[in-house]
């Protein structure tokens, strides 16, 4: 989601980091009933995501779990940004082959020529292919709608990620995870006063301790299979030791030192749709080379060793199945989503 180049633009005078919410909150639904709702149609939309960004990573996971690859095309932006934010410089001639844009900001300005970028340029973003206009950057709603509103185009065996009978519990878990974990690492990392950093740090680890205890006797956060709650937590956990522990000073302990969160995270990583959408190279380059106020040398650390994510997790004995009683895994990916060239220098 971040649009940051160098210093965070969201640090208040109090020293706190405050995340801006999505500005464009239209929805893509099965049966539109207002001007803010768009028709779900295969071949009409392009999902623009960064493999570095945890907020965008959610949508990549859900698109894959639901088997929507043929219905919604995917564009992967460069993990490095310049002063115009997310760019398509990994593509031939530096242009997205479908939209023809060099920068995602062009889709924002196609939607609102005067004020389209005033609240930043964030991912994930869904763009209408025929017009090049941004439809939505509402990252919490995008994944929910991909799981529900696109049911007609989902693969057989796709999981129910937001079942009605569990929504109240999922929402409650997500609320705490968002404030203290997903956003909490940013509040710690971008704090500009010691007291604000310590507040975020304390809340983060209190919530992680609570989640670690919750996962002692259950395989997933809510219910017996993967839900929205697991996806939202996973994208922060998978980045924790690689960037948040050191880069954002969230260093009471590593994820690998939690008794339940660590095997839980490995369980998800080894589930099709999760680990095969993770790119630690994108992740580390973005955080360590874009946040120059935190890492002015832009040196990218070599570790941790990714192979530890493939160690046995032994959580099958807790019961439950990843995709539900009638669900099946998505087909294997043919190739990585978007590899990067070797580091220079």
Residue 331 domain-assigned?
no
> pLDDT tens-digit profile of 127-138?
999 999 999 999
Same domain for 299 and 186: yes
Q: In the chain, what percentage of residues exceed pLDDT 70?
A: 96
The last residue of one of the domains, among 130, 153, 176, is 153
> Is 53 known to be catalytic?
yes
Assess whether pLDDT exceeds 60 at residue 287.
yes
Total domains present in the chain:
2
Set 162, 186, 220, 264: catalytic member: 186
Residue 111 domain-assigned?
yes
Same domain for 35 and 131: yes
- H/E/C letters for each residue in the chain? CCCCECECCCECCCCCECCCCCCCECEEECCCCCCCEEECCCCCEEEEECCCCHHHHHHHHHHHHCCCCCCCEEEECCCCCECCECECCCCHHHCCCCCCCCECHHHHHHHCCCCCCCCCCCCCEEEECCCCCEEECCHHHHHHHHHHCCHHHCCCCCCCCCCHHHHHHHHHHHHHHHHHHHCHHHHHHCCCCHHHHHHHHHHHHHHHHHHHHHCCCCCCCCCCCCCHHHHHHHHHHHHHHHHHHHHCCCCCCCHHHCCCHHHHHHHHHCCCCCHHHCCHHHHHHHHHHHCCCCCCCCCCCCCCCHHHHHCCCCCHHHCCCCCCCCCCCCCCCCCCCCCCCCCCC
Same domain for 226 and 305: yes
Same domain for 146 and 174: no
The last residue of one of the domains, among 123, 153, 183, is 153
What's the confidence (pLDDT) of residue 345? Answer: 63
Assess whether pLDDT exceeds 50 at residue 5.
no
Set 45, 53, 153, 201: catalytic member: 53
Same domain for 147 and 186: no
> pLDDT tens-digit profile of 16-67?
888 887 899 999 999 999 999 999 999 999 999 999 999 999 999 999 999 9
What's the confidence (pLDDT) of residue 297? Answer: 97
Residue 20 domain-assigned?
no
The last residue of one of the domains, among 153, 181, 202, is 153
Same domain for 197 and 262: yes
Query: What's the chain's average pLDDT?
Result: 95
Q: Mean pLDDT over residues 68-86, rounded?
A: 97
What's the confidence (pLDDT) of residue 343? Answer: 85
Same domain for 112 and 48: yes
Assess whether pLDDT exceeds 50 at residue 274.
yes
Residue 271 domain-assigned?
yes
Range of the domain at 272: 166-318
Same domain for 180 and 102: no
- CATH number of the structural domain spanning residue 209: 1.20.1050.10
- CATH number of the structural domain spanning residue 147: 3.40.30.10
């Amino acid at each position: 989601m971040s649009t940051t180049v160098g210093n965070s633009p969201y640090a208040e005078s109090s020293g706190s980091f405050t995340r801006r919410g999505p500005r464009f909150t239209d929805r893509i639904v099965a049966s539109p009933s207002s001007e803010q709702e768009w028709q779900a149609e295969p071949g009409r939309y392009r999902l623009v995501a960064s493999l570095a960004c945890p907020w965008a990573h959610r949508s990549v996971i859900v698109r894959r779990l639901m088997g929507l690859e043929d219905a919604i095309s995917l564009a992967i932006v460069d993990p490095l940004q310049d002063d115009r934010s997310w760019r398509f410089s990994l593509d031939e001639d530096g242009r997205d082959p479908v939209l023809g844009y060099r920068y995602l900001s062009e889709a924002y300005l196609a939607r609102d020529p005067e004020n389209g970028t005033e609240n930043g340029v964030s991912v994930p973003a869904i763009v209408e292919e025929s017009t090049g206009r941004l439809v939505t950057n509402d990252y919490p709603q995008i994944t929910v709608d991909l799981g529900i509103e696109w049911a007609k185009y989902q693969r057989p065996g796709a999981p129910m990620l937001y079942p009605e009978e569990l929504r109240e519990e999922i929402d409650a878990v997500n609320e705490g995870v968002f404030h203290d974990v997903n956003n909490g690492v940013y509040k710690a990392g971008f704090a500009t006063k010691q007291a604000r950093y310590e507040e975020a740090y304390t809340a983060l680890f209190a919530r992680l301790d609570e989640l670690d205890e919750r996962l002692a006797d259950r395989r997933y956060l809510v219910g017996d299979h993967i839900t929205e709650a697991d996806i939202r937590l996973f994208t922060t956990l998978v980045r924790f030791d690689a960037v948040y522990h050191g880069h954002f000073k969230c260093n009471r302990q590593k994820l690998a030192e939690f008794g339940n969160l660590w095997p839980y995270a490995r369980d998800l990583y080894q589930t099709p749709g999760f680990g095969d959408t993770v790119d630690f190279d994108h992740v580390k380059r973005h955080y360590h080379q874009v946040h120059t106020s935190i890492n002015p040398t832009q040196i990218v650390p070599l570790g941790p060793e990714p192979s530890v994510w493939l160690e046995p997790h032994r959580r099958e004995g807790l019961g439950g199945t990843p995709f539900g009683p009638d669900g099946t895994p998505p087909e294997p990916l043919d190739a990585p989503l978007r590899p990067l060239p070797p580091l220079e220098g």
